[in-house]
Amino acid sequence: MEKQKAILQHKIRTIQDKIYDLVQEQKVLQNEFDSLDVKPKIIDSDINSWSEEKRVYFDMVGKLNEPERSEALDNFDESEFIILDDMSISDCLSYGFDWTESKQGFEYWDNIDAQILTNQYQFDKI
């Protein structure tokens, strides 16, 4: 019984040491990340001046992962965009710009849209 207790105590100490090391590593990585001069891309600094169309589009497309998010934001053509009653991310992509005119091309956006519509797109955060 004492031997089992000693083994378990050793395992617990080992796990605690690993947790401590991970916390220390996380602190180092967080400091490293915080020191990076990475600023989000701001297309128009006065958000209050944005049209409703632009706000809806940027809000919905902002849920995409990188690089799709930045590419979709760069491609936005307000003259192409219409707001529907129940806007989805797919709708925003479809009405936000002409896929054939984008740098990425029709197939690229069609593939992303198909993944979204079939719930195969892996959102980082929604």
C-alpha 53 chain-centroid distance: 21
Q: Is the pLDDT of residue 48 over 80?
A: no
> Which residue ranges make up each domain of the chain?
1-38, 47-117
Model pTM score: 0.61
Q: Is the pLDDT of residue 91 over 80?
A: yes
Average pLDDT over residues 35-42: 57
Cβ neighbours for 48, distance < 8 A, ≥ 6 positions apart? none
Tokens of 92: 């925003």
Q: Is the pLDDT of residue 90 over 60?
A: yes
3-class SS of residue 72: helix
